[in-house]
């Protein structure tokens, strides 16, 4: 069984583009601007023994403004730069009714099965509320990087940037952490305990 870091793509590994003040992901390799500061940070997590898995919503496929070929090329580049083990994609739109568009957990379940992931010893890093919600449902630690997209969601840790997130992970890892799910009639909550 492996420990994984699940990573949101846009805003963490690459920059958004802005169109009419609205953030949009790159739709072809020429539009991809990698966050180079993130490369050594993400690679260090790999060196620490985590399996690196990106899970991303890319509704541009369903909406018809992005081609699979271009998305594959973008992901090939991201895998090479960040030494990612895998990338899982939801290509659907909100109205498609799929089971994989975050905050649904479909792609995470697929990744857990494929890579034999010990989910309660894994971590989700994101700058969006959807991923924190997934973490809660899966009993997995969430680290949110502050952004305009975190809303008022429940999260475990909130940090200002990716460097702080990696620092937290190194601290937690030293304590051999795992997430415990504690349920009573009213609440489900998660604590970090010692393994
Ligand atoms: Zn989907």
pLDDT in tens, 7-65: 999 999 999 988 888 889 999 999 999 999 999 999 999 999 999 999 999 999 999 99
Distance (Å, rounded) from C-alpha 128 to C-alpha 16?
A: 13
Residue 107 alpha carbon to ligand 1 centre in Å: 8
Residue 185 pLDDT > 60: no
Write out the residues surrounding ion ligand 1, Cβ under 5 A.
90, 92, 98, 100-101
Average pLDDT, the chain: 90
CA of 38 to the centre of ligand 1 (A): 27
- 28 CA distance to ligand 1 centroid (A)? 20
**What's the confidence (pLDDT) of residue 159?**
95
**In 3-state terms, what secondary structure has residue 26?**
coil
Q: What is the pLDDT at residue 56? A: 98
Neighbours of 185 (CB within 10 A): 4
Residue closest to 47 by CA, chosen among 192, 193, 173, 178: 173
CA of 90 to the centre of ligand 1 (A): 4
Distance 60 CA to ligand 1 centre (A): 12
How would you class 164 by CB atoms within 10 Å of its CB: exposed for 0-12, middle for 13-18, buried for 19 or more? middle
pLDDT at site 191: 53
Q: Where are the domains of the chain?
A: 4-194
Using a pLDDT cut of 90, give the percent of the chain over it.
72
| pLDDT at position 122 over 60 | yes
Residue of higher predicted confidence among 97 and 174? 97
**pLDDT reported for residue 192:** 55
What is the Å distance from ligand 1's center to 57 Cα?
7
- The conformation of residue 146, written as its DSSP 8-state character, comes to P
Residue 157, classed as helix, strand or coil, is strand
Question: What is the Å distance from ligand 1's center to 70 Cα?
Answer: 18
pLDDT class for 97, splitting at 50, 70, 90?
A: very high
> What CATH number labels 4-194?
3.40.50.1000
């Amino acid at each position: 069984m492996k420990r994984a870091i699940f990573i949101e793509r846009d805003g963490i590994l690459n920059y958004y583009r802005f169109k009419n003040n609205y953030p949009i992901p790159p739709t072809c390799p020429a539009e991809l601007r990698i966050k180079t500061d993130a490369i050594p940070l993400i690679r260090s997590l790999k060196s620490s023994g985590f399996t690196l898995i990106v899970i991303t919503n890319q509704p541009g496929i369903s909406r018809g403004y992005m081609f699979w070929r271009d998305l594959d090329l973008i992901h090939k580049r991201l895998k090479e730069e960040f030494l990612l083990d895998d990338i899982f994609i939801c290509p659907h739109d909100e109205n498609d009714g799929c089971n994989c568009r975050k905050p649904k957990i479909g792609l995470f379940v697929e990744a857990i099965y494929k890579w034999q992931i010990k989910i309660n010893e894994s971590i989700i890093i994101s700058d969006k509320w959807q991923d924190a919600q997934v973490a809660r449902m899966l009993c997995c630690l969430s680290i949110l990087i502050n952004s305009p997209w975190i809303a008022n969601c429940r999260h475990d840790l909130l940090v200002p940037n990716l460097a702080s997130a990696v620092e937290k992970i190194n601290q937690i890892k030293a304590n051999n952490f795992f997430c415990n799910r504690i349920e009573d009639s009213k609440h489900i909550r998660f604590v970090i305990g010692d393994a």
